[in-house]
Every structure is written in C-alpha cells, then in structure tokens.
Structure 1
Amino acid sequence: MSELFEPRTAGATPALRRAIEVLDLLESTSEPLAAVDIARELGLPKSSAHGLIATMMEFNLVVRGADGRFRLGPRLMRWASGFLSQTNLTGEFQRYLTGETNLNAHTITLTILDGREVVYVACRDSGDPLGLTFRIGMRLPAPYTATGKALLAAMPAGDLDRLFADPKNWPAPLTPLGVGSLNQLRQELDLVRRRGYSIDDGQVREGMICLGASIQDHSGCAIAGIAVSLIRNQASTHTLDKLGADIRTAADAIARRLGN
C-alpha cells in the first residue's frame, strides 16, 4: 500500500493544490477576502473558485462572514491541535518550564522554522509588559527573531544561501534595527555559533530584547527554537549573560528529553 503515498506529478491533484493555495492566501492576509479577490489573486476562473470555496465551506476549512467575505475556518484549529498533541516537543517544553526556576520571571516562546519564517507553537507569558503579545500560530521573519537566528545558525551554509537567494525578496524589516541583508545576517549567525545563543535586540520590537537557542533532535538536527524575552531596560550585561546561559541550558535539557 505504500506506493499510494509516493510523490505525484505537479498536476496530479489540482483541486487539493488549489485548496492549499486558498488557505495560504487567507492565512497571509489581515482581512477576509471576497471570492472574486481569491480568484484574482490565485489566477483561478471565477466558476472554479466558487466551486472550490463551496466545498471548503462544507468541511469548515473556510467560513463566510455576514459581508460575504471568507476567512479561515475552525477545522484548521482542530488539525493544529492534533499536530501539537502528536509531537513531544510542546509537551516537553511545558513540562520543563513547570519545574524550571531560572526563567520563571520572563516570557518564554517556542517556534519551528517554516521556510523564511518562524511559527510560534507554544508560549509561557510573564507579567512584564513587552509591548508585543506572542500567539500560537503567529509568524515572524526568521532573520529578525531570536529563535529564527538560532535555527538559521544551525542550517548548512548552502541551505541558508538558497533560502535567501534573491535579495529583492529580503523580508521587510519590522523595526529600523532589522538586519538588512544576507551578508549582515551571516555576521550575526557567526556570533550565534560562537556564543551558543542568539540575540534579537529591538529587531522584532524596539525596546524588547530576546535571547534564543536551538533545540536539536537525536540526529543533531535543529528542530525548534526557544527564546526568553524581556524589556530592554532590564537587560544589563550581567542579566544578558545569565539569561543566555539559561536559555542554552533549557534548549539542551529539552533536547535530552526528546532523546538527544
């Protein structure tokens, strides 16, 4: 039966591919979209778009609002919950923080790398006002985040170059402090490798500083990033040195729980 799951040609399942493109489009926009907008953005005939969206509505993959526009549906959350429940990663993250004391005063986040972005899969908030709320499912450009820098630093050089091959598609900076090119990013990643942890100093949000480290599986492959966040006026040199060591310790401890 395994041959049923072998990769097929690009045109083998056009309806499924188009449905995924619709979901990706709705995820990437801040506002719901009308069917005509979806058809135009994806280059679909209007009749095909309407039929596809109707089927996706039937399965709660998309929902239509009172204004006739479409947004992501609740079935996706069920899938996301199923994905998270089937991986030990988030569970071990939560269990480690339950018994951990050195990081208890700070916000701690867990992300995975998806292309050129990190996706937040778990978070433990502190009471400190960071000016930014981390949400599960939130995406941010990897070059600007502490976890993203940690994961990119663990990536083979060739893969990093391919990921950011086109300088015209460099991610838009989130603040004026964002690293502006692949060469600048390489310099930061060299520091990450030497230091053992990464630093985002105001690149996601000015006034906030984050320190991150990669979590490696049993094969030594970086599978996730963990970061601690605090406001800049709390970040003395001594505090940063200690938190850098603490987040590296946390990453290694979770990796051991996962079999590394």
Structure 2
Amino acid sequence: MSDDNGSDYLSPPVQRATKLLRRIAEGDRVTNMSRTARELDISRTTLLRLLHTLEAERFIEPAGDSGWRIGPGLIAIAAHAFASGDLAEAAQPVLQALAESVGMSAHLGVLDGREVVYLVRRTPSAAFVSNIRVGSRLPAHAANMGRIILAHLPEAEVRALYAGAPMTAVTPHTATTVDGLLARLAQDREAGLAWSEGFFEPGIGSVAAAVRDARGRPVAAINVSGQVVNFEANRARIGAAVSDAAAEISGRLGFVMRKVA
C-alpha cells in the first residue's frame, strides 16, 4: 500500500538529479564537490555520476574555467514548454501585430543544440505568407534566427557548440567554419539584427532580432520573411518593426534595457 502522498512511487535517483539541477540553476556551480555532495546528502562518486549524466543529456554544461551551469538541453525543454506558456503568451499578440504591419509572416524560434526550432508562426491577412511550419528545424548557423541568438552568446560557448561539428552550406552565403560563423555573428551583433537576402532560400529575404529573458540571456528570436524585393524597398522600416517587436516581447519577459549614460 502506498501512503497518501504517493511517496512509495518516488524515485530517489530522479530526486537527487532534480535537486542538483535546482542548485545549479540557483547559482551553485559545484566548484566545491565535497560541500555540494554533503549538502545533498550523497557521496562524491554519486555526485560525479550525476554531473556527467546530466552533461551527456545536455541538461548542464561546463561554465567557463570551472564549475557547471544549466545547459541547452534543459533550456530547450523549458522553451518547448513555454510554447504553451509564458514565452508564447508574450509573443503571440506582438507577432500578429508585426505580421500585419509588414505584410509578411512572423515567427518565433528557440535554439536547440545547433538547430533553431520554430515555436510560433503568425501570418497577415493578406500579402506574403511563408511556408514554414511550427516545429520546423533549421540549422542555426545558416538561419538568421539561429544566427542572432548565437550572436548574443559568449564566443567560447559558440566555439564549444560547434567544435568538431559539420557546418553544411545551405547557400554560398552560409558560413562553413567556426571562424567564419563568428565573423558573421559579429556583424549581426553590431547591427542588432540578422539579415538574410537570399542567404537561406533564393529570392526570400528575412530579418531577425533576439528575445531576452529577465537575466538578459537570449532565449529566443523572432523574424519576418518575405520576397527580397519587399526588403529592398522597405529595409529600414521592416528592421525597426522587428527590433521594436523583439524589445516588446523581451520586456514582457522581464528584460529591462540598460540606458547608456
């Protein structure tokens, strides 16, 4: 017989892993393994196994010179959950207004490893409508939503993400080396937008901006897509509209832009 709270069905290994994840998320980088193991009431060997298992699942990753931080695998799971929660709720009305204002499809995507996953799509009542679908996955190094997220991550994190990974060219514009990608990301970061004039699909233009959470970390990106000719005639207006929409969504997530004195 189980007791009323169902404790007979709890899994101690899973509990230990979730407790460790919470500690790391709250700022414990596990630089003192003896202390962390003692406070979790587990052995150093168990802690080491948990760390390596969570790293293999990409729930955590090495944090700079030492310790651990929450990794892209766990962030991706949270982002997918946000598709029916905070992120999507914050983004949907803004994306719909953006789509109507520029007459093109507007999208929101998140980084999942080396891919960008489309989570939200809003289309205008008329004019150009993209054929991209929610759930679509595109290579982040080639797609501008992926590029603008990567552009706002530390260089070391980008290098680690692509270390030894193939970088297939989608078009002649695609960066196929880490150094080439970092050069492109520097341009995107400087502009505050990632532009694509036929960079991913011939004849199709797009522009993307990063969405930040309350900590300032890029958790998503938005873009609009349309025919290249439309961007040639309205580049400044479209870019400003996408920047403003990304800022509004970020603000709804708690991000506060710091003013430069």
Does the aligned pair in 2 maintain the 1:121–1:137 contact within 8 Å? yes
Code of the residue aligned with 1:150 in structure 2: it is I
Code of the residue aligned with 2:166 in structure 1: it is W
The answer to whether residue 252 in structure 2 is matched with residue 257 in structure 1 is yes
Provide the residue aligned with 1:171 in structure 2: 167
Query: Where do 1:1-260 residues align within 5 Å?
Result: 3=16, 5-6=18-19, 9=49, 83-84=81-82, 86-100=84-98, 103-126=101-124, 127-128=126-127, 133-166=131-164, 169-236=165-232, 239-260=234-255
Give, in angstroms, the shift of residue 82 of structure 1: 8.3
Code of the residue aligned with 1:183 in structure 2: it is D
Unaligned runs of 5+ in 1: 21-78
Unaligned runs of 5+ in 2: 1-11, 21-45, 58-76, 256-261
Does the aligned pair in 2 maintain the 1:102–1:246 contact within 8 Å? no
**CA separation in 2, counterparts of 1:102 and 1:177?**
29
Kindly provide the CA deviation profile for residues 69-120 of structure 1, in whole angstroms up to 9, marking residues without a partner as x.
Answer: xxxxxxxxxx999824653111111122345577341111100001111000
**CA separation in 2, counterparts of 1:135 and 1:100?**
18
Identity of aligned residues (%): 26
Does the aligned pair in 2 maintain the 1:108–1:228 contact within 8 Å? yes
Does the aligned pair in 2 maintain the 1:198–1:211 contact within 8 Å? yes
The 3 A distance-change label for structure 1 pair 84 and 221 is: closer
Give, in angstroms, the shift of residue 173 of structure 1: 2.1
- How high is the TM-score relative to the length of structure 1? 0.65
The 3 A distance-change label for structure 1 pair 215 and 85 is: closer
Code of the residue aligned with 1:185 in structure 2: it is L
**CA separation in 2, counterparts of 1:115 and 1:155?**
13
Does the aligned pair in 2 maintain the 1:218–1:259 contact within 8 Å? yes
Kindly provide the CA deviation profile for residues 30-72 of structure 1, in whole angstroms up to 9, marking residues without a partner as x.
Answer: xxxxxxxxxxxxxxxxxxxxxxxxxxxxxxxxxxxxxxxxxxx
**CA separation in 2, counterparts of 1:220 and 1:243?**
24
With 148-157 and 102-111 compared, the bigger mean Cα shift is at 102-111
Give, in angstroms, the shift of residue 208 of structure 1: 0.7
Kindly provide the CA deviation profile for residues 231-250 of structure 1, in whole angstroms up to 9, marking residues without a partner as x.
Answer: 112221x5122211211111
